[in-house]
């Protein structure tokens, strides 16, 4: 099924469950726990070993990390100057640097640019955004999610975080070229396929169509960063590094993707402004589709 149809249908299902009061915030928390502890690790174990990496593919990786670092610094500076709460700051530090460069990004690149650009999109996602989710993401979640925090505690949370463990295992499989048995490969593939539908139902359950007044400015800032500032950063960084026109186009489009669904699930799981997180994930999807057509025309 088309990924955009999946997103629309499962988001609508979550909204129906919310409005009919069949499911509440506890249900959303349980769904997010399933994603973080099972579906996301399966996706990592399935996708990572399928990639190839060489020196000619450094542009999307370097650009991805440069954009994420600059975005995190921008968010931290604005949050500090605006005196936003730790919960809101943590939410933005998770959702702003991490775009939906995989499930939404790769099919969109295929549709907007063609199959020749998909390889660059996979590298941007898997060696950039995806790695950041499982390292930077858990550091932010553990640091801003409340409770006591220390270097040792954060390190322990990272090394016991199921997606991070899966990432290490997947890298070993990739480096040593270990083939999966067919049954294991199919199991991982089917399990990974549940990630987006389950998360979007959770987003729909948690998504409040009317933002709290105190979050309207934060929400507007977040959308601006996701859909305007990040692709502009990527355009300038990739242009400075140099590369062919196709690679530059891909990194600009990938940088302008909507908020990452898994990052939203992580924010909600750690109670980092969950309503704001759900709204950023939900609203950035349709708005992001429109903005990507704009960026495609700009960099063409």
Query: How does pLDDT run across 214-262, given as a tens digit for each residue?
Result: 788 999 999 999 999 999 999 999 989 887 788 899 999 999 999 998 8
Rounded Cα distance between 181 and 26, Å, is 37
CA distances to 33, 93, 151, 197 from 148, in Å: 21, 19, 11, 33
Most confident of 69-78, 159-168, 202-211: 69-78
Q: Are 134 and 126 in contact (CB under 8 A)?
A: no
Neighbours of 12 (CB within 10 A): 13
Q: Which of 218, 217, 295, 292 shows the shortest CA–CA distance to 257?
A: 292
Question: Is the pLDDT reported for residue 147 higher than 70?
Answer: no
How high is the pLDDT of residue 233? 97
Residue 7 CA, chain-centre distance (Å), reads: 14
**The CATH fold of domain 34-202+210-299:** Na+/H+ antiporter like fold (1.20.1530)
Q: Are 96 and 72 in contact (CB under 8 A)?
A: yes
- Domain locations along the chain: 34-202+210-299
Q: Which of 52, 48, 51 shows the shortest CA–CA distance to 188?
A: 48
Radius of gyration, CA atoms only, the chain:
18
Query: How does pLDDT run across 85-132, given as a tens digit for each residue?
Result: 999 999 999 999 999 898 778 878 877 888 788 888 888 988 899 889
The mean per-residue pLDDT over the stretch 64-80 comes to 97
Rounded Cα distance between 182 and 177, Å, is 15
Strand partners, 84: none
């Amino acid at each position: 099924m088309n990924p955009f149809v999946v997103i629309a249908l499962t988001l609508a299902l979550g909204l129906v469950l919310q409005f009919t009061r069949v499911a509440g915030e506890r249900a959303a928390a349980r769904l997010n726990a399933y994603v973080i502890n099972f579906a996301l690790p399966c996706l990592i174990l399935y996708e990572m070993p399928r990639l190839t990496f060489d020196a000619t593919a450094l542009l999307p990786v370097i650009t991805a990390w440069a954009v994420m670092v600059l975005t995190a610094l921008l968010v931290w500076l604005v949050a500090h100057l605006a005196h936003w709460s730790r919960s809101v700051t943590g939410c933005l530090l998770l959702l702003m640097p991490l775009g939906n460069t995989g499930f939404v990004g790769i099919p969109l690149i295929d549709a907007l640019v063609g199959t020749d650009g998909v390889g660059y999109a996979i590298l941007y996602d898997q060696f950039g955004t995806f790695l950041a989710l499982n390292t930077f993401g858990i550091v932010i979640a553990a640091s801003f999610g409340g409770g006591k925090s220390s270097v040792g505690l954060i390190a322990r949370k990272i090394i016991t975080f199921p997606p991070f463990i899966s990432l290490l295992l997947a890298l070993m499989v990739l480096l040593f070229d270990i083939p999966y048995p067919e049954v294991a490969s199919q199991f991982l593939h089917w399990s990974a396929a549940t990630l987006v539908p389950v998360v979007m139902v959770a987003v729909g359950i948690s998504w409040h169509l009317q933002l709290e007044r105190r979050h309207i400015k934060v929400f507007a800032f977040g959308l601006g960063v996701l859909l305007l500032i990040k692709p502009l950063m990527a355009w300038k960084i990739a242009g400075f590094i140099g590369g062919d026109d196709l690679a530059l186009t891909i990194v600009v489009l990938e940088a302008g993707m909507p908020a990452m669904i898994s990052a939203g699930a992580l924010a909600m799981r750690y109670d980092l402004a969950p309503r704001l997180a759900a709204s950023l994930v939900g609203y950035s999807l349709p708005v992001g589709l429109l903005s990507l057509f704009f960026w495609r025309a700009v960099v063409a």
